[in-house]
Amino acid sequence: MRAHRFRDSIEHSRRHAHSQTGSPGCNGGAQTGSVKMTGVVDKRSSGMVRKRNPDLTKREILAAAHKEFCERGFDGARVDRIAASAGANKRLLYHYFGNKEDLYRQVLSDAYRTIRAGERELSLDQFPPEEAMDRLVRFTFRHFQQNPWFIRLLTTENMHHARILKTLPEIKDLHSPLVAQIRTLIERGARAGVFRKDVDPVQLYISIAALGYFYLSNIYTLSTIFDTDLSHITLIQEREAHAVAMVLDYLRTHTDT
């Protein structure tokens, strides 16, 4: 039953992991889609320089940068490798994105925009409070589980004390709707008599994220310590169900007996 439920909504999270053309995972190449380029000339046969599609080139550079940064971190990433992987030269990369830091800034911004877009599409206001919270917890857990690159980016940024994240002008506005969404959900649950009233939405979200992030970011060390393969799908499903149960049990009103 749990496996069925796990598969039932997993496609929702996957859509947001790859919602933008050219958004790759760290384990594979960029998914740039099928793009027809007009005016393309094969320079090998004619000696002429190929005309580039600027939008396609930008997407390819971003996809290559995404892969490079999430695999090697900011310090280990190299512009030469990004340009070569994208099939572009460094001059073009600098022309479109400025420098390595600006390119990383764009990758980081896109990563946050992706998860926030997925949360909005959950349409939590369309579901009863407990079911809506269930959906939010599962989505958050699965986003981390299906996108290990996101965990790596967060780890890199925390190692640098959020140095680049602090320079993103949109980052606070990007998260304000999430806090409001959770606050509204808590209030609906309180009015329905199923949730406590004294819950801080920011603290709640941090706990929701931590229940998935810690498990998945430490899955290899924890597996070694407890002599259990915590990456097995059955145990991942159990961990997800445990996260949902913990959050709902914390939120529910309890009558003393």
- What does the pLDDT look like over 29-59, one tens digit per residue? 333 333 333 333 343 344 444 556 888 999 9
What pLDDT, in 10s, does the model give residues 68-85? 999 999 999 999 999 999
Q: Mean pLDDT of all residues in the chain?
A: 84
67: pLDDT confidence band, cut at 50, 70 and 90? very high
Q: Report all structural domains of the chain as residue ranges with CATH numbers, in order of start.
A: 53-98 (1.10.10.60), 101-256 (1.10.357.10)
Burial label for 197, CB within 10 Å (0-12, 13-18, 19+), is exposed
Which of the 8 DSSP states describes residue 228? S
Q: Among 204, 205, 189, which residue's Cα sits nearest to residue 252?
A: 189
Which is higher by pLDDT, 5 or 134? 134
pTM (2 d.p.) = 0.78
User: pLDDT value at position 22?
Assistant: 42
